[in-house]
Amino acid sequence: MHRAPLPHRVFLHGAGRRGTTAWPSQDPESGTFLSFPQDSNIEAQARSLVEGERDRTPLVFAHSIGAVTAVRAVADGLRSPALSSSSPPCTTSPAVKLRSSGISRW
């Protein structure tokens, strides 16, 4: 069976730890681990995400307040991974797939 390559993965931290330390169970080589300054605002973080991923279509993993940055980035033009014919339909949004460990329901 032929599988499509996995999209580039981007990890957005919450309000606590940053970068790879915010995602201790992930291999540091498994994607891009963003680290925003503590005093940066959500708009600046979203803009940085959109600009940094301009030529790619990332799969974004966000924790806690990082999910707000991810949603804002989608509104600002971040592209989402193309769904293959074997993929289930995206139920959160046609523009992005989010997985946040801090939210139990929407």
d(CA 49, CA 72): 10
Distance CA 102, CA 33 (A): 18
The pTM is what?
Answer: 0.69
pLDDT tens digits, one per residue of 4-18: 777 889 999 998 899
**What is the overall mean pLDDT for the chain?**
77
The band of 93, judged by pLDDT with boundaries at 50, 70 and 90, is very low
Q: How many CB atoms lie within 10 A of CB 22?
A: 20
